[in-house]
A = this chain, B = another copy of it.
Amino acid sequence: MPVYSMTLTDTGYSLRSIVERFGGELVGDANTVVNQVAPLSAAQSWHISFLSNPKYRRQLRNCKAGAVIIGIAERDETDLPRILSDNPYAYFAKVSALLNPRQVEAPGIHSTAIIDHSATIPASATIGAFAFVGAGVKIGDHAVIGSGCHLGEGVEVVDDSLLYPQVVVYHGCVIGKRGILHSGVVIGADGFGIAMEQGRWIKVPQIGRVIIGDDVEIGANTTVDRGALDDTIIEDGVKLDNQIQVAHNVHIGAHTAMAGCVGIAGSARIGKHCTVGGGAVILGHLEIVDRVNISAGTLVTKSIAKAGTYTSVMPFSVHQDWLKNAAHLRHLDQMAEKLSVLETKISELERKKL
């Protein structure tokens, strides 16, 4: 049975055993056993909770958890058994993964799956119902291909990857180790390559692939197009949320994370360790260096050569106020012109004054 919503798991762990695994300083009863994670406000005696944002300190004081993971600075903010860590959220992530391990699917190929005879599938892999595995596909050890997935010719899904139901991977694309692809993801559809000739669009064949590194997670209904000539590249450790569009020949550097609904146009090159906020759009053929943070809703129209945070957001306001202000947005140039005229006139008046 999958575990969800803070119900009891099958196995508990003592705080001692947790600290032995993940480090940190233990304060209080080391024999306290916790069995599931929960937020501060809802935790019961069998839960372990966490505080990473000092804003929620008040919740810590009223917390009924069996134990908590907190920062060094919060050491004396509670009497609960506690683990002190300099990164309580990451520590919590590890404890939650310990308490909620991925359900191990029984290996094997479902009787309804269609597998090309030339595909390579190890005994440790799982292929779900109605999955289609094309010619020359290579599946890695312990990989799980969910029900209804489609793997085109020559696709490679490396060890320990998990494809949820109804993922489509077009021919020739590669998913690295420990990848997680959620339902509705489409990898390797044709990029938007069209040439105009006499009022009609001619399709440009898209002969590149999509190459996805290790430890990449891709959210539901996100699409990553194959390259036009070269490959589209997603490096190790990249995390993409839902409903993102990655166009052909984009290159996303390692450990970059993007929130939902982002759009990346063709041949954009994005650095390592970047973050892109929800709904942002990055135009094509531009380059963004490492460690750039793009705010939610921002449209990036030029290359960014320097690490930092970049924003282009129109602040929202009550509609009536917006109406008044927006009218001027179409006339900023005139406003600047008027200002300049006034400056000249005043200089003149001041001069005459002398």
A336–B335 Cα distance when bound, in Å, is 7
For A340, the closest partner residue in chain B by CB is B338
Determine whether the beta carbon of A346 is less than 8 Å from that of B342.
yes
Q: How close is A342's CB to chain B, nearest CB, in angstroms?
A: 6
A135–B227 Cα distance when bound, in Å, is 38
Known contacts A313-B326, A319-B308, A330-B317; A205/B172 CB under 8 A: no
A204–B52 Cα distance when bound, in Å, is 14
Determine whether the beta carbon of B319 is less than 8 Å from that of A311.
yes
A285–B199 Cα distance when bound, in Å, is 27
Contact flags (1/0) for A231-256 with B, using CB distance below 8 Å?
10000010101110101000000010
A243–B339 Cα distance when bound, in Å, is 44
Do most interface residues of chain A lie in helix, strand or loop, or is the interface mixed? loop
A8–B332 Cα distance when bound, in Å, is 56
Determine whether the beta carbon of A319 is less than 8 Å from that of B328.
no
Q: How close is A223's CB to chain B, nearest CB, in angstroms?
A: 4
At the interface, yes or no: A46 with Cβ under 8 Å from chain B?
A: no
At the interface, yes or no: A100 with Cβ under 8 Å from chain B?
A: yes
Determine whether the beta carbon of B259 is less than 8 Å from that of A265.
yes
A172 neighbours in B (Cβ, 8 Å): 2, 4-5
Determine whether the beta carbon of A259 is less than 8 Å from that of B192.
yes
Determine whether the beta carbon of B310 is less than 8 Å from that of A192.
no
Determine whether the beta carbon of A164 is less than 8 Å from that of B168.
yes
A100–B194 Cα distance when bound, in Å, is 15
Q: How close is A23's CB to chain B, nearest CB, in angstroms?
A: 12
A1–B137 Cα distance when bound, in Å, is 12
Known contacts A208-B4, A312-B317; A237/B201 CB under 8 A: yes
Interchain CB contact (< 8 A) of A207 among B93, B100, B243, B313: B100
At the interface, yes or no: A6 with Cβ under 8 Å from chain B?
A: yes
Determine whether the beta carbon of A192 is less than 8 Å from that of B241.
yes
Determine whether the beta carbon of A182 is less than 8 Å from that of B192.
no
Can you list 6 A-B pairs, Cβ within 8 angstroms, ordered by A? A261-B261, A261-B281, A281-B297, A299-B316, A310-B317, A325-B332
4 closest A-B pairs by CB: A312-B316, A90-B197, A309-B319, A189-B220
